[in-house]
Amino acid sequence: MHAEQVRSRILAALYEAPLDSRRWEEFLRLTALAVGGEAASLLVHDFSNTESAMSKEWGFHPEVAKLYAVHYGAIDVWRSAVTASHDWLGTSQRFVSFAALLHTEFGNDLLLRYDIPHGIFAMVERGPARVANLSICRSARAGAFDEKDLEIVRFLKPHMQRAYRLDSEFSAARSLSGGLLTALNAISKGVILIGPKLQVIAMNQVAERILAANDGLKAERNGLRTESNTESTRLDELISEAIATSHGKGLDAAGSMRISRRDLPPLHVVVSPVRGTDFGPRRQVCAVVFINDPAQRVRPACDTLHAMFGLTPAECRVALLLGDGHAPGQIANMVGVTRNTVRSQIKSVFAKTGVKRQSELVRMLLQNADIAIQSKAKPGSRS
């Protein structure tokens, strides 16, 4: 194949990699083949915990990546020689002579054993806490790499650096968005993100559960719908107002309404606009819909109450029943103990949690129940 075509295929794989990480392997394969290498990897050296690992690799014996991460990364003589250099591009013998390499554990036990004693290295990222480099290897039989083999790697170096940076930025953005969704999933209210055309963009798990019940509120292709036309119209109005506010046109802060259901009490809905961002050709999220289901019994987990306040299982049960709004007499009947036992347990619950009245206890329990990380998504949690 013509050299130009090879280069453009390598560049295509390289710059696709931030969108699809499997393309890193293709990039490594094409690059290795272009210089007559037999294996290639992207090595990441983390100085904060002195870990070295192959973050992507092609062509190595399956054991090599594992052994490198658990043992040989730390005693990689190539790494220490290469990281000491400013111009990070060269063949292995430029950094460590072949004879010297054979005197090391790394050279003998890893490189010779798996027959990868010759290499080419190029710096991909050099940060204060982390260094990443490309490493291409081949067998003793294939012989050492020479200067001519470096040419294509030299050409690729700035592109690798850019693509790796894009990849890092993309992973960070994906990870952040995933983390934020995880946090939102822990909230006991339904949260739905709405786009510019009233369409649903994302929602948390509570919202998914409410919509899955298919009672009152539904998500359709063109937005949220309710059972009644009047309510649908009102909901559309609220969302459109919020979107207009997000676009800087409206003045309304937020609106609220009730959405009727067949048997259960109505859902409480609050629609709020989203602060805009000028990033990108168009705004994606324009409004947020919060849903509160009054029929959903929100309770903190006993684990949390135990860990936080040292409540015993019996005290937890009494606390939760008090929180549900039952009187001490009722609780005694429900649990099957005397009123006096319940009263002394309540006293102990108040002392341990530092509350003075039932209303304060209800407040405390509900605040903890807002985060449903330890008791989430139990089926049949509606009362």
Amino acid occupying residue 210: I
Q: Which is nearer to other proteins, 91 or 133 (CB)?
A: 133
Q: For residues 118 and 140, what is the distance between their CA atoms, to the nearest angstrom? A: 7
> Pick from 350, 303, 296, 295: which is nearest to 322 by CA?
350
- 366 lies in the binding site for other proteins (CB under 8 A): yes
- 294 lies in the binding site for other proteins (CB under 8 A): yes
121 with 88: CB under 8 angstroms?
A: yes
Question: Which residues, numbered 331-360, are part of the site for other proteins (CB under 8 A)?
Answer: 354, 357-360
- 298 lies in the binding site for other proteins (CB under 8 A): yes
Q: For residues 283 and 196, what is the distance between their CA atoms, to the nearest angstrom? A: 7
- 362 lies in the binding site for other proteins (CB under 8 A): yes
Q: Which is nearer to other proteins, 112 or 202 (CB)?
A: 202
> Pick from 44, 17, 21: which is nearest to 135 by CA?
44
Q: Which of 97, 171, 214, 228 binds other proteins (CB under 8 A)?
A: 171
- 189 lies in the binding site for other proteins (CB under 8 A): yes
Q: For residues 63 and 67, what is the distance between their CA atoms, to the nearest angstrom? A: 6
Q: Which is nearer to other proteins, 67 or 366 (CB)?
A: 366
Q: For residues 307 and 146, what is the distance between their CA atoms, to the nearest angstrom? A: 64
**126-155 burial code (b ≥16 CB/10 A, e <16):** eeeeebbbbbbbbeeeeeebeeebbebbee
- String marking each residue 51-90 x if it binds other proteins according to CB under 8 A: ----x-----------------------------------
Q: Which is nearer to other proteins, 50 or 99 (CB)?
A: 50
- 44 lies in the binding site for other proteins (CB under 8 A): yes
Q: Provide, rounded to whole angstroms, the least separation between the CB of residue 59 and other proteins.
A: 22
Tell me the site size for other proteins, rule CB under 8 A.
Answer: 97
Q: Which of 93, 104, 260, 292 binds other proteins (CB under 8 A)?
A: 292
Q: Which is nearer to other proteins, 91 or 245 (CB)?
A: 245
Is the CA virtual torsion 229, 231, 232, 236 positive or negative? Answer: positive
272 with 288: CB under 8 angstroms?
A: yes
Q: What DSSP designation does 149 have? A: G
- 251 lies in the binding site for other proteins (CB under 8 A): yes
Q: Which of 273, 302, 319, 349 binds other proteins (CB under 8 A)?
A: 273
